[in-house]
Amino acid sequence: MQILAIDVGNTRIKWGYYANANRLNRGNVANADFAQLDATWSSLAQPQKIIISNVADEHIAENVRQLLARWQSKPQWIEARDYQCGLRNSYTIPQQLGCDRWAALIAAWQLDRQASIVINLGTAITIDSLSADGVFIGGVIVPGLHLMVQALAGKTVKLATQPGAFSAFPVNTADGIRSGTLHAVCGAIERLVRIAARENEGKINCILSGGDAELIAPYLNVAHKIVEDLILQGLVKIAETED
């Protein structure tokens, strides 16, 4: 089965073209540069299924719809459910869970089928807890690194926002901002991993994905692994199990 999986995020559109669960092609563009996909997708064979996670606004969604009109396959725009692909959703209103988070959780469950903290490091950072028996327990949303820097730049006129380097205790403002944002993100991840580990007799899997995963991973003081394109993997699994 040929599947085109598309993850429309807050700032970028990521996509993968799969045949029988094997990725044949992939790419990503900034949301503002969506027109670049016209030429890229013209070289793809007709997908049997098109599946999309979208957390961007309706304008971006409409741009994607227009590009997909070249194919006969009707796109499936997912939303979170109370149960899907072996995973149960504990959100108070299941459909209000971000569809990108839901796809990532499904992928994480299919990969390991064990208690996990699933972290997507993008424009916003989500840190979600998955139980050993396939239940999404809940999770938090944290501003991403760039959003934190933007907030400082917008509200504190005298703080420098030029690139800095990481240090435990920086001695200049640029390094202070860089280090502070990394400490904040890593601290949130490590705290939630410890909580989840206590609740699972010390056995917890920590999965990182998203655009900033490679950047943040070296500073984490917990065992972890990076899984590329976790959301796309979840979308493919959903497409494979849906009629």
| d(C-alpha 76, C-alpha 12), whole Å | 19
- What average pLDDT does this structure show over 85-91? 97
Residue range 25-78, pLDDT digits in tens: 999 999 999 899 999 999 999 999 999 999 999 999 999 999 999 999 999 999
Query: Which residue in this structure is represented by tokens 């040929």?
Result: 2
Band the pLDDT of 129: cuts 50, 70, 90: very high
pLDDT band at residue 219 using 50, 70 and 90 as cut-offs: very high
Element (H, E) at 112: helix 99-112
* Contacts of 199 by beta carbon, 8 Å cutoff, 6+ apart: 115
Query: Which amino acids are annotated catalytic?
Result: 100
Report percent pLDDT > 90 for the chain. 87
Strand intervals (E) in the chain:
2-8, 12-19, 22-30, 49-54, 76-77, 83-84, 87-89, 116-121, 124-130, 135-143, 205-209, 225-226
How many distinct helices (H) and strands (E) make up the chain?
Answer: 7, 12
Q: Note the pLDDT tens digit of each residue in 8-32.
A: 999 999 999 999 888 999 999 999 9
Looking at the predicted structure, is the pLDDT value of residue 181 above 90? yes
pLDDT at 174: 87
Domains and CATH numbers, the chain: 2-77 (3.30.420.40), 113-145+174-235 (3.30.420.40)
Of the chain, the percentage scoring pLDDT greater than 70 comes to: 97
Note the pLDDT of residue 108: 98
DSSP three-state, residue 179: helix
